Amino acid sequence: MSEVCTIHKFEIYDGDATVTVERTMEKEGEVFTRLMNWYRKNSAVVGEVIFQSDRCQETACELLADLADDVFQFETQWKDD
């Protein structure tokens, strides 16, 4: 298990929930690797290309979802809990 560098917290849904995520060197490396693979796979290394490419638009959501679920693993605490 990676050593935790810092813990980040932020609120979502107008303060109804607090999200906590650990920041580690391992997670930073994984994010960098996945982003670089996405740029290469989509031949998109310029902002204009990313905005204008249908493929980039379609695959960006998948990348962000995978990062959220597999890498960041956000913990959400609802105020009602």
Q: Packing angle between helix 54-66 and helix 25-41, nearest 10 degrees?
A: 160
Instruction: Tell me the mean pLDDT per 10 residues along the chain, length 81.
Output: 82 97 96 98 96 96 97 96 68
Would you state the structure tokens that stand for residue 43, as one six-digit string? 């031949």
Structural domains in the chain (count): 1
**pLDDT for the residue numbered 30:** 98
**Host domain of residue 34:** 4-78
Q: Say if residues 2 and 27 touch (Cβ distance below 8 Å).
A: yes
